[in-house]
Amino acid sequence: MGKWGDWMRQLLLCDATQPDKVGEICQRNGLGVEIQAFSNPDYPLREPNAVGYHLSAYKSVTPRSLHGPFGDLSPGSCDRLIRQVTKERFEFAYKYAEKLGAKQVVLHHGYVPGTNTHRSWLRRSREFWVDFLEGKDPEISFYLENLLEPDPELLGAVVREVNRPNLKICLDIGHAFCHGKLPVERWVEELGDLIGYVHFHDNHGDKDDHLSLGKGRIPLDQVCYSLESLAPDATWALEVGPDSLEDSIFWLESHGYLPNGGE
């Protein structure tokens, strides 16, 4: 396999909190990394040298992104204390992104269907993000990821209402396929260039398996074609297990979404 450092599309490998293994794959292929250990806010408490360890593992790997905490967080919650905790956890993600040289931060949109009306969630979420983004480094971008949402309507509305260049969408195609009610291509059509980041993995539509590309039922060629047409500047990130990364890189390469052999 060749290197794709000069390829116009950024491809990152999600590390599943295994920097030593994934760092080597990134270096061998000239790819970036999405650092995921800090999605657990207890991680740096357990590992005092967490930052140094990751900087060493990824010393020559760029670009870098960071996945922030997401468990039980809700930026549009009707409870102000939940919103406050959510902001603290997202500030945690921003702090460690700065320390690790990550210019992209993935955070969950957090909407659980049926728990809030769209109108109230949109109002509170807009206020949350306008406040959160105040004073942030404009070189660091934030991406809101879908998880349980059945369609892209509310996610898109939040990003449009906030209307900041450093807040866009992370479309997780596996989540959209197994939790959504619309074809994944429709998500791409409705969100368009609001999509700045994409999580790639596969499943059979019944659960969030994070399979290698081509091992499930997601119509990947159609999705990739739509993304190239409607969100051409989006960063792509492979969110499969470390042992499945090489196979998924090969799938992208063999289907024409990466240059073959570095040529």
At residue 209, what are phi and psi to the nearest 5 degrees?
Answer: -80, -25
pTM summary value: 0.95
Domain-by-domain residue ranges, the chain? 11-262
Band of residue 258 on the pLDDT scale cut at 50, 70, 90? confident
Rounded CA-CA distance 234/193 in Å is 8
- Secondary structure (3-state) at 13: strand
Band of residue 72 on the pLDDT scale cut at 50, 70, 90? very high
Whether pLDDT at 108 is above 70: yes
222-223-225-228 Cα dihedral, nearest 10 degrees: 170
- Assess contact for 68 and 39: CB atoms under 8 A: yes
Checking phi first, is residue 30 left (phi over 0); if not, alpha (psi -120 to 50) or beta? left
Rounded CA-CA distance 23/14 in Å is 10
The class that CATH gives domain 11-262 is alpha beta
User: What local confidence, expressed as pLDDT, does residue 5 receive?
Assistant: 44
Band of residue 4 on the pLDDT scale cut at 50, 70, 90? very low
User: What local confidence, expressed as pLDDT, does residue 262 receive?
Assistant: 39
For residue 14, give both structure tokens.
């999600």
Whether pLDDT at 8 is above 90: no
Among all chains, which residue has been given the structure tokens 């206020």? Answer: 127
Whether pLDDT at 192 is above 60: yes
Amino acid at 194: L
Q: Average pLDDT of the chain?
A: 95
